[in-house]
Amino acid sequence: MAGTSETSSAISDDRFRSLVEDLPAVTYIADFVGTFTLRYVSPQLTKLFGYSPDAWMADEAAWVDAVHPDDRERILHEAEACIAAALPFDFEYRLITADGRERWIWEKTAVQRDHEGRPLAVNGVMIDVTDLHHAQEALLDEAEGRAREREHYETALRRQADEHRHHALHDDLTGLPNRRSLYERLAAEMSAAQPGYEFSLLLVDLDRFKEVNDVLGHQSGDDLLRQVAARFAREVRGEDLLARLGGDEFAVLVGGWRGAEAGLEIARRLSDALCQEFILSGVPVHVEASIGIARYPFDGADATTLLRCADSAMYAAKDLSTELELFDGDRDHHSPTRLKRLGELRQALDRGELVLHYQPKLRLESGTIPGVEALVRWQHPEHGLLPPGEFVPLAEQTGLIKPLTSFVLRAALQQVNAWQTAGHDLSIAVNISERSLLDPDFPDEVTCILLDAGVPPHHLELEITEGTIMADPVRAAAVLRRLDDLGVVLSLDDFGTGYSSLSRLRELPISEIKIDRSFAARIETDERDIAIMRSTIELGHNLGCSVVAEGLETAEALQRVTSLGCDTGQGFHIARPLEADAISAWLADRQG
């Protein structure tokens, strides 16, 4: 390569040379006519990369050797293409310096041409862009990082959205689809239904669930619901939808053609699935269910109507104790009746349609009548005299139980006052519902009513059931203690029907226990019931309580409980619940 003399003449101007050779870049000139032969390489090649310009000019392969092996093939390929087409270079590649460092190079050329445009030579520049490149890489990394982060958040958001959707459509406790799911599925079934397509909607309500919750605690209640859900899940088919609507209410959409017939079959299977007892906190518990069945499209063509029909049928099953009932449009629609009755009950309180009957209690040893129990009835304008079972539960489910209890307390205490004035020294027992017992204002209300009626507190007995206490033992105990402080007598009604033991009730200020009438009904024949009655009486006495036997219907029953040491008896054999006047007459009769 005879370039040195030519290049010195090309760079003859000192100022020009110093400009080129002071730049922080390598410049070069090369022949560019079908070949690439370096004619000049600026001395910065040594300063920047440690190579000698002369060596590069002497050997074409010197530059190629300095290119990073990973970039070499690409750069040679591009260079050959540019040379062949007489186009300028514009490359970026890594160069290995003479001392082995890796530098990023931006190499760019300009093609010099003759007046006809034929290429003569190229002027090239090699700039060290390592820092720029690193900065660029860092930027790219950052951008990539951001993209990854965004993807991560997007995935998380998508997962969250999926979870929300699952959550919105499922019940946390049992994992079953919830009410919303059921509505969605009902809407889907109805909109896709072809003529002749039928399905059933089953509404399942557990009987005695509240009792389990109250007595064994919410944990056991939850446990029961999960166990029931698992048993039901085994009985439904793939095309059915089992949902929990809330509380102890489940629903099954029994789908498919002939779904209406299959509904009955599935309902029976659900019922059977409950036959085997559940073990809750080690206690075997027997649970039954009431199932109402409504059929699409016969009973209802929209979700709300169908559900209302299933609900109505379920209440009918409860009322008739039949386990399962098909919706019957001819039968009094339960829900509308309930609503109507609720409205009527509200008015009944104002119109004075609620009346009290009184059932005497007999002291077994002395044969005296220490008091009576007030039992509410509804003198219904159309249906006649309704027993409390027909309307007290309705009042308990709504806010009406409070005014009802106030009414009974007032009326009963006024009556006792009247009897006392007439010379009958009677105490009065009033049945108290859960809501009243959990109401912290209740003791104050009782005080007011006692003062208004002018009756001393120890003449009032309040009858409470175990379930009522166990619904919220702490709050109940607080109210019971205040009532006890007032001097009111507290009595445990229907004992033996719940799950609690006497020892559990030991801390409560209860002074009377009323053994449920179901025991009295059996003691005439069943030796085991006699034993239970005997030990219950003993236990009651050991706890310092007086014991009452309810439901004495025969002379034998009365004689038996007397011989077992029971203190007091109550029942049709002694006297049925009677109106106040009839009680006065009955008392006068006994005295006479």
* Chain residues in the site for ligand C2E (CB under 6 A): 359, 375-376, 387-389, 392, 408, 431, 433, 463, 493-494, 517, 550-553, 570-572, 577
Cβ atoms of residues 175 and 230 within 8 Å: no
Q: Which is nearer to Mg ion, 466 or 493 (CB)?
A: 493
What DSSP element (H or E) covers 436?
Answer: helix 434-437
Residues 418-437: b if buried by 16+ CB within 10 A, e if exposed: ebbeeebebbbbbbbbbbbb
Cα separation, 43 vs 53, whole angstroms: 6
Q: CB 431 → ligand C2E: shortest distance, Å?
A: 4
Q: CB 557 → ligand C2E: shortest distance, Å?
A: 8
Q: CB 373 → Mg ion: shortest distance, Å?
A: 6
Residue 387 contact partner, candidates Mg ion, ligand C2E, none, CB within 5 to 8 A by sort of partner: ligand C2E
Q: Which is nearer to ligand C2E, 42 or 570 (CB)?
A: 570
Q: Which is nearer to Mg ion, 431 or 468 (CB)?
A: 431
Position among 493, 536, 564, 577 found at the interface with Mg ion (CB under 5 A): 493
CA atoms within 13 A on the CB side of 518: 6
Q: CB 537 → ligand C2E: shortest distance, Å?
A: 18
Q: CB 363 → Mg ion: shortest distance, Å?
A: 17
What DSSP element (H or E) covers 465?
Answer: strand 460-465
Q: Which is nearer to ligand C2E, 177 or 571 (CB)?
A: 571
Position among 27, 174, 181, 431 found at the interface with Mg ion (CB under 5 A): 431
Backbone dihedral angles phi then psi of residue 364, each to the nearest 5 degrees? -70, -40
Under rule CB under 5 A, residue 463 binds Mg ion: yes
Residue 551 contact partner, candidates Mg ion, ligand C2E, none, CB within 5 to 8 A by sort of partner: ligand C2E
Name the 3-class secondary structure at 102.
strand
Cα separation, 42 vs 19, whole angstroms: 11
420 contacts: CB under 8 Å, gap ≥ 6: 426, 455, 459
Q: Which is nearer to ligand C2E, 240 or 461 (CB)?
A: 461
Cα separation, 564 vs 343, whole angstroms: 47
Under rule CB under 5 A, residue 325 binds Mg ion: no
Q: Which is nearer to ligand C2E, 111 or 394 (CB)?
A: 394
Q: Which is nearer to Mg ion, 271 or 431 (CB)?
A: 431
How many whole angstroms from its chain centre is CA 522? 43
According to CB under 5 A, which residues from 536 to 575 bind Mg ion? 550
Q: CB 341 → ligand C2E: shortest distance, Å?
A: 16
Residue 375 contact partner, candidates ligand C2E, Mg ion, none, CB within 5 to 8 A by sort of partner: ligand C2E
Name the 3-class secondary structure at 513.
strand
Q: CB 370 → ligand C2E: shortest distance, Å?
A: 16
533 contacts: CB under 8 Å, gap ≥ 6: 515, 519, 520, 523, 549, 560, 561, 564, 566
With the C-alpha atoms ordered 397, 229, 281, 272, is the resulting torsion angle positive or negative?
positive
Residue nearest to ligand C2E as judged by C-beta position: 571
Backbone dihedral angles phi then psi of residue 468, each to the nearest 5 degrees? -60, -45
Which 8-state DSSP code applies to residue 236?
A: S
Q: CB 408 → ligand C2E: shortest distance, Å?
A: 4
Q: Which is nearer to ligand C2E, 105 or 375 (CB)?
A: 375
Cβ atoms of residues 372 and 428 within 8 Å: yes
Q: CB 484 → ligand C2E: shortest distance, Å?
A: 20
Under rule CB under 5 A, residue 466 binds Mg ion: no
Cis bond upstream, residue 297 (ω within 30): yes
What DSSP element (H or E) covers 205?
Answer: strand 199-207
Q: Which is nearer to Mg ion, 205 or 550 (CB)?
A: 550
Under rule CB under 5 A, residue 494 binds Mg ion: yes
Cβ atoms of residues 575 and 586 within 8 Å: yes
Question: Would you tell me which residues interact with Mg ion (CB under 5 A)?
Answer: 431, 463, 493-494, 550
